[in-house]
Amino acid sequence: MIHYQDRWAIVTGASSGLGRGLAARLADRGMSLVLTGRNEARLDEAAHQIQRATPRVKVETVTADLSTRSGLSALLDHVGDRPIEVLVNNAGFGSYGAFAEADADREDNEVAVDVSAVITLARAFLPGMIARGSGGILNVASAIAFQPAPYQAVYGASKAFVLSFSQALWAEARVAGVTVTALCPGPTRTGFVDALGADVGHTAIYRRLADPEPVIEAGLRALDKGRAVVIPGVRNKVVAISGRFMPPEWLTRIAARLLRPIGTALRPPIEVRNETVIHASAERVWDLLTDVEGWPSWYRACRWVRMESTGSAASSPGAARPVSFRWKAHPVVLRSTVIAAERPHSFAIDADAMGLHAERMFTIHPTPDGLSSVVISHETQVGPVARLGRVFLARRLRAANQAMFDDLARAAGRGVATQATPAALSSHRVVLTSR
Ligand SMILES: NC(=O)c1ccc[n+]([C@@H]2O[C@H](COP(=O)([O-])OP(=O)(O)OC[C@H]3O[C@@H](n4cnc5c(N)ncnc54)[C@H](OP(=O)(O)O)[C@@H]3O)[C@@H](O)[C@H]2O)c1
């Protein structure tokens, strides 16, 4: 049972977002407030606004960093031995990125605010509530608490702690008429995302943000009803519940996919290696391989690509030579660049299309008699279709590359290929463009 009228509530993280809204709603219920935050100006502004809206309640502020002992002591000293009816453990922040590359100090602070401060304040005020037989604690956890959070590993684990801790205290305190509720919001439009210190707009999780008001209402309603856990929003509920029926590996892999940073492949790239012997000197093979105008014939060997060349054999050496590619089903833009060239031994090209990045290294080893060459193509592809590629494309790519090598061998035998401009190739970028 919670008595709101003329009782005291503490709200941490009241200078912004959910904490500020929760404080305002508690004031509406007649509660006097002790508000904390680090940003003094914003905290004062929040306090003044609440005071103006609800003049009958008292509003006090304590500027304190709750990741420090001194910050926690400042708050506890300010409150003294006055009875606290409601404690809202809301202050918190997250971070984003691979754990191996994370800022250790920031993550230590995160645990100090998101976990240790929650324990310290619960320890300070729960015994009084139990002794009086009334009161409640609202701990702001997160919907992330229901599954591991790759790329937010420390934050996710901290919120899982808050969820578990709250549920345990709920069971212990309810017999005394005191409630402890974990509020588990999904991504919500507050200062939280900005405070992550990293761009997360590309992630499936943070692309859509909910309004804070329904989250605040849901939290206070659950506290009223003595609920142990509340997950605002149907989508968040479904995600939280569906995780229970999945093997942990599946759940974590899905979470990783939803949170992964740009450019992070979940799996190793597709790798395709072809090796062939061509009865021609290394110099001759180099000339053929680096003959940009010869490329279309190789790519035509891939059955799923129809090539339309706009390149001109007359284009001056050293100039980029546009060649247009058109996929059978999809018009795509493919740009290819020679990124390294070492005559006559090796050269590498890279290409980007539809978010897929491919790099291919050709190496040419002359046989000891110098009459033949061993040609190796090593290709890696990374991109959104990597999984599909591994299953479906890799074999076809290997076959297409082999067909390309067969073409090359035939060209070497007949000596029909255009003489390339290898010197120019090694010093300029070749760009292939398609519409
Ligand atoms: N918004 C979301 O998407 C979301 C989702 C799930 C859970 N949550 C949780 O909701 C709670 C409230 O966050 P919010 O969304 O309202 O974000 P917010 O607008 O950034 O508010 C965070 C609050 O926490 C305070 N705070 C942060 N570090 C602190 C520290 N070291 N000492 C004292 N106060 C500190 C901030 O105060 P100063 O700015 O004054 O330092 C601010 O008042 C957090 O626990 C967060 O983890 C948020």
Q: 345-356, pLDDT tens digit by residue?
A: 877 766 666 556
Q: Using the predicted structure, report yes or no on whether residue 296 has a pLDDT greater than 80.
A: no
- Give yes or no: residues 198 and 244 share one domain: yes
Q: What is the pLDDT of residue 7?
A: 98
**Residue 92, ligand 1, Cβ within 6 A:** yes
Active site residue 155: yes
171 in a domain, yes or no? Answer: yes
302 in a domain, yes or no? Answer: yes
- Give yes or no: residues 40 and 99 share one domain: yes
Q: What is the pLDDT of residue 263?
A: 66
Q: Using the predicted structure, report yes or no on whether residue 359 has a pLDDT greater than 80.
A: no
**Residue 311, ligand 1, Cβ within 6 A:** no
Q: What is the pLDDT of residue 246?
A: 87
Q: What is the pLDDT of residue 336?
A: 59
From the number of C-beta atoms within 10 Å of its C-beta (0-12, 13-18, 19+), residue 89 rates as buried
**Residue 152, ligand 1, Cβ within 6 A:** no
- Give yes or no: residues 188 and 240 share one domain: yes
- Give yes or no: residues 217 and 278 share one domain: no
Q: How confident is the model at residue 13 (pLDDT cuts 50, 70, 90)?
A: very high
Candidate from 39-48, 154-163, 193-202, 255-264 with smallest mean pLDDT: 255-264
Q: Are 15 and 39 in contact (CB under 8 A)?
A: yes
- Give yes or no: residues 234 and 339 share one domain: no
Candidate from 124-128, 258-262, 375-379, 389-393 with smallest mean pLDDT: 389-393
Q: What is the pLDDT of residue 236?
A: 94
**Residue 236, ligand 1, Cβ within 6 A:** no
- Give yes or no: residues 312 and 368 share one domain: yes
Token pair 């590498």 is at which residue? 348
CATH, residue 53: 3.40.50.720
pLDDT, the chain, mean:
83
Candidate from 38-42, 57-61, 212-216, 372-376 with smallest mean pLDDT: 372-376
Which residue owns the Cα nearest ligand 1 atom 23? 13
- Closest approach atom of ligand 1 to CA 109: 31
- Closest approach atom of ligand 1 to CA 210: 3
- Closest approach atom of ligand 1 to CA 195: 20
Q: How confident is the model at residue 343 (pLDDT cuts 50, 70, 90)?
A: confident
Q: Using the predicted structure, report yes or no on whether residue 229 has a pLDDT greater than 90.
A: yes
Last residue of a domain, one of 240, 259, 278: 259
Pocket test for ligand 1, best of 10, 11, 12, 18 (most atoms within 8 A of CB): 18
Q: Are 22 and 220 in contact (CB under 8 A)?
A: yes
For residue 403, the CA-to-ligand 1 centroid distance in Å is 59
**Residue 188, ligand 1, Cβ within 6 A:** yes
- Give yes or no: residues 113 and 250 share one domain: yes
Backbone phi and psi for residue 152, each to the nearest 5 degrees, phi listed first = -140, 45
Q: What is the pLDDT of residue 409?
A: 81
Q: How confident is the model at residue 332 (pLDDT cuts 50, 70, 90)?
A: low
Query: What percentage of the chain has pLDDT greater than the value 90?
Result: 53
- Closest approach atom of ligand 1 to CA 189: 1
Overall number of domains in the chain: 2
Which residue owns the Cα nearest ligand 1 atom 16? 17
Q: Using the predicted structure, report yes or no on whether residue 295 has a pLDDT greater than 70.
A: no
For residue 191, the CA-to-ligand 1 centroid distance in Å is 7
Q: Using the predicted structure, report yes or no on whether residue 2 has a pLDDT greater than 50.
A: yes
Query: Of how many residues is the chain composed?
Result: 435
Its domain, for residue 231, covers: 8-259
pTM beyond 0.75:
no
Pocket test for ligand 1, best of 22, 38, 236 (most atoms within 8 A of CB): 38
Q: What is the pLDDT of residue 317?
A: 36
Residue 208 CA to residue 202 CA, distance in Å, equals 10
Better-predicted residue by pLDDT, 371 or 322: 371
User: Which range among 79-83, 253-257, 423-427 has the greatest average pLDDT?
Assistant: 79-83
Instruction: Give mean pLDDT, residues 19-37.
Output: 98
Catalytic-role residue among 151, 155, 206, 299: 155
Closest of 431, 223, 196, 218 to residue 335, by C-alpha: 431
265 in a domain, yes or no? Answer: no
Instruction: Give mean pLDDT, residues 357-385.
Output: 81
Candidate from 5-19, 31-45, 244-258, 322-336 with smallest mean pLDDT: 322-336
The reply to whether omega before 344 is within 30° of 0 (cis) is yes
Q: Are 58 and 32 in contact (CB under 8 A)?
A: yes
How many Cβ atoms sit within 10 Å of the Cβ of residue 202? 11
Q: What is the pLDDT of residue 412?
A: 79
